[in-house]
Structure 1
Amino acid sequence: MSKKKIGLNLRRGARGVIHGSLVTAATAAIFGAGALPQAQAQSPYFYGSDLPDYHVVSEGDTIWDLSGSYYGDPYQWPRMWSYNAHITNPHWVYPGDIVYLQEAPAPLATTGGNSPGAAQPARQEAAPAGTYLPVGGMITAEELTLAGRIIGSPKEASMLGEHDSVWVRFGEEEDEDSEKKGDQEQAASEEPEVAVGERFAIVRLGDPITDDEDNTLGHKYIVLGSLVVTEVSEDHAETALIDQSWREIERGDVLVPYERQLKVVQPRQAENDLIAHIVDTLQPGFAFGTDQYVFIDRGAEDSVRVGNRFFIYQRFEGLNRPGTEPDKEIPWQRVGQVMVLDVRENYSTAIITRASREIVVGDRLEMYAGY
């Protein structure tokens, strides 16, 4: 069946009424799951951060009418056209075409060498571009290997932080198990060796992620900071200095092998479409918003990469409390966006970058290839 041409339709004057439905057929299904709800399947008028990123053309749509619907003024059609270099003539769009409603993100900087030609003068290397964010926490399918534990501090306070000195016992878990067996000599021989200057991440164990049958699906760790070993001894616990702290640190918090805790994050195009869900949050609570951390149930095995962005969708009736299970006849509505800042094998940590409504655990996430 041939495509039907749809004109700009300047004869409509200043009317902003869409001539045809904004709601179109959903995009291809992912992994046998339900189809992705379209970003434009919402109210025909949008304001601020609620504006979708694209519209799929239906029969009867025109650039003129779409500008009136999304921007509130059909004479904004040149603005819409400027976002769509693939539309060579604004008088003609076709059913199924993608019309972008916002300016695309700036291209990512390439990492190639200097272009051929004259030699470049020596200069100091610039810091990587992007947003610098602490990891904050992680969920892993397998438990992390614990290196040790903070057992005390000379500071006369229950909460510890940056620049505080602490005493650390390495191999503590092995020690306790061996003492229970009455084999202290074996415990001493198994205690790992550490060196002055060695750094470890300080984490706190959170509640595990479980399914409806209470089976453990993942292990949650809250990243509190890091410490550096300043003194080792054969007779007593090692001494260390907390050199980074993002949350209060307490005696009893555990140590894991150090990874860089400050991530440089910038938007990165997705390799494929993907459906995910928010399974937990960094901060305790019920509802969350912009700049708060969430954990999602997709990771490196699902081709998720740092910088990927997911849109957040909810089904809700206006009077219901966020998180209430609605009637499935209610359409999906896009309520925000997250950006991934840390990726593990099966889980990722993300930050909420946009929210027009309270975000809750269980919300649906969608990633689109090429965005």
Structure 2
Amino acid sequence: MLKQLRTVAAVALLTVTAYAVAVETTATHPDTYVVRKGDTLWGIAARFLEKPWLWPEIWQANPQVDNPHLIYPGDVLSLAYLDRVTPQAQVQPGARSEAPINAIPLSEVEPFLKNLTVVEEFKHLPYVVGLEDSHLLASAGQMAYVRGLQDAQAGQRYAVLRPTVRYGKPQPSRDLDARGNPTPLSGNLWKNYVAGSERLGLLGHELAQVNVGTVTRLGGGRDETATLLLEDSGREVRAGDRLVPVQAQPYDLQFIPHPPAATAEAGRLRVLAVADTFTSGGPRDVIAISGGARDGIDNGTVFSVWRSGRHVNDRVTGMDTSRLDDVLKPGAGRVALPDEYAAHAMVFRTFDKVSYALVMEGTKPARVGYELKHPDAQ
């Protein structure tokens, strides 16, 4: 949850002797840098550090900084490392008239923070059974009739959610129909990216928020449904959509990049889906990954995303065969190729077994089935 923002008194000389081994700077960095409006912590660190997710370790080395996670436009940051020294007078805070800069622009992930959630089960939730005038779809200003809201109060606000994806076995990713049941054959895509022997178990069901409404009338007597007045014109509601109470603040507003707290078993963490696209995404796209709070993943965790090394036929020393080349599984006569780096991604919303991450930068698209590793993986 959002913590109370505190004023940063000063951003002073950074002493990084203790971090000399862990932190690698770029070849050409200035002694100081003036923070500008529109900067992000990730962007500044990416310019001056080889590993931008390590910026908190550098700035926390200065005991004079009240909160190294908050810097403001106009702050003069010292970037003098090792045997280089910046005079104290050159390092000073800027005006505090503007909001502090964040690790990433919140506007780029806010729609996903609000609109996507993952639950173990959802079929026990209240659901839309019909719409005003027997419409197939309804939007702002129209009525939706809901079954299962026995404990609701008039005036209470609910988010309307639509089951979209089932993350779990036998295929880790399957689209859901209007009833919330897996769409036949929708999980076949996973077979193109992950060897068939891998099984992740049920990870949860993704629910996408499509609308918000207020309870105007409760069901009673021969009337089995409550009435919900829809407020949002963004997406339309249909029968089968589910309801949960509106949360006052369902997500964090600040993200601090850092490496994973624990090393995951090889192949354990995978890209489950790419939001709003079919199989792949680039910088500022959102990916769902097969790990969450139970794996020690929290908001700000940074991973590198890798294409799993394929197995190819050695046509020089092995048999010349027409057997399919470039496959995921090992076999007789096949040679294992190395994994290939694709991108870095930062987690911004975490559930028990699934998390969402923002692709920050990379050299190739991040695709469904790609493996997630420590950001320093080689």
TM-score, normalised to structure 1, is 0.53
Q: Is the 8 A contact 1:147 1:257 kept in 2?
A: no
Q: Determine the structure 1 residue equivalent to 2:9.
A: none
Q: Determine the structure 2 residue equivalent to 1:360.
A: 367
Specify which of 70, 75, 85 is matched with residue 109 of structure 1: 70
Q: Determine the structure 2 residue equivalent to 1:335.
A: 342
Per the TM alignment, residue 155 of structure 1 is displaced from its structure 2 partner at its CA by 6.7
Q: Determine the structure 2 residue equivalent to 1:231.
A: 217
Per the TM alignment, residue 195 of structure 1 is displaced from its structure 2 partner at its CA by 0.7
Per the TM alignment, residue 265 of structure 1 is displaced from its structure 2 partner at its CA by 4.1
Q: Which amino acid aligns with 2:142?
A: S
Q: 1 CA distance for matches of 2:232 and 2:200?
A: 34
Q: Is the 8 A contact 1:137 1:282 kept in 2?
A: no
Per the TM alignment, residue 233 of structure 1 is displaced from its structure 2 partner at its CA by 4.0
Q: Cα distance 1:207–1:316, how it changes in 2: closer, same or farther (>3 A)?
A: same
Unaligned runs of 5+ in 1: 1-55, 58-62, 68-76, 84-98, 111-122, 172-190, 318-322
Per the TM alignment, residue 194 of structure 1 is displaced from its structure 2 partner at its CA by 0.8
- Is 1:148 the counterpart of 2:126? The answer is yes
Q: Equivalent residues in 2 for 1:303-318 (5 A)?
A: 303-315=296-308
Once the two structures are overlaid, the 10-residue window that deviates more, 340-349 or 251-260, is: 251-260
Q: 1 CA distance for matches of 2:156 and 2:101?
A: 26
Q: 1 CA distance for matches of 2:156 and 2:335?
A: 54
Per the TM alignment, residue 128 of structure 1 is displaced from its structure 2 partner at its CA by 9.6
Per the TM alignment, residue 273 of structure 1 is displaced from its structure 2 partner at its CA by 4.2
- Is 1:218 the counterpart of 2:209? The answer is no
Q: Cα distance 1:164–1:221, how it changes in 2: closer, same or farther (>3 A)?
A: farther
Q: Determine the structure 1 residue equivalent to 2:144.
A: 167
SS at match of 1:274: coil
Q: Is the 8 A contact 1:80 1:102 kept in 2?
A: no
Give percent identity, aligned residues only.
Answer: 18
Specify which of 246, 253, 257 is matched with residue 264 of structure 1: 253
Q: Cα distance 1:349–1:234, how it changes in 2: closer, same or farther (>3 A)?
A: same
Q: Which amino acid aligns with 1:137?
A: L
Q: CA RMSD in A?
A: 4.3
Q: Is the 8 A contact 1:155 1:164 kept in 2?
A: no
Q: Which amino acid aligns with 2:218?
A: V
Q: Cα distance 1:328–1:297, how it changes in 2: closer, same or farther (>3 A)?
A: farther
Q: 1 CA distance for matches of 2:101 and 2:238?
A: 33
Q: Is the 8 A contact 1:272 1:368 kept in 2?
A: no
Q: Equivalent residues in 2 for 1:42-57 (5 A)?
A: none
Per the TM alignment, residue 367 of structure 1 is displaced from its structure 2 partner at its CA by 3.6
Over 6 Å off, 4+ runs:
80-83, 123-128
Q: 1 CA distance for matches of 2:356 and 2:153?
A: 31
SS at match of 2:344: strand
Q: 1 CA distance for matches of 2:338 and 2:258?
A: 27
Q: Which amino acid aligns with 1:333?
A: E
Q: Which amino acid aligns with 1:311?
A: S
Unaligned runs of 5+ in 2: 1-20, 34-47, 57-67, 72-95, 171-195, 311-325
Q: Is the 8 A contact 2:288 2:354 kept in 1?
A: yes
Q: Determine the structure 2 residue equivalent to 1:206.
A: 164
Per the TM alignment, residue 251 of structure 1 is displaced from its structure 2 partner at its CA by 2.4
Q: Deviations over 1:289-320 (max 9, x none)?
A: 33333221211122211122222112468xxx
Q: Deviations over 1:119-155 (max 9, x none)?
A: xxxx999799561413332344x21464311223337
Q: Cα distance 1:329–1:154, how it changes in 2: closer, same or farther (>3 A)?
A: same
Q: Determine the structure 1 residue equivalent to 2:238.
A: 250
Q: 1 CA distance for matches of 2:339 and 2:353?
A: 26
- Is 1:131 the counterpart of 2:106? The answer is yes
Per the TM alignment, residue 227 of structure 1 is displaced from its structure 2 partner at its CA by 2.3
Name the larger-Rg structure: 1
Q: 1 CA distance for matches of 2:99 and 2:352?
A: 31
Q: 1 CA distance for matches of 2:133 and 2:252?
A: 30
Q: Which amino acid aligns with 1:131?
A: L
Q: Which amino acid aligns with 1:221?
A: E
TM-score, normalised to structure 2, is 0.52
Q: Is the 8 A contact 2:251 2:349 kept in 1?
A: no
Q: Deviations over 1:18-66 (max 9, x none)?
A: xxxxxxxxxxxxxxxxxxxxxxxxxxxxxxxxxxxxxx99xxxxx9xx9
Q: 2 CA distance for matches of 1:165 and 1:127?
A: 40
Q: Cα distance 1:80–1:109, how it changes in 2: closer, same or farther (>3 A)?
A: closer
Q: Cα distance 1:167–1:220, how it changes in 2: closer, same or farther (>3 A)?
A: same
Per the TM alignment, residue 253 of structure 1 is displaced from its structure 2 partner at its CA by 0.9
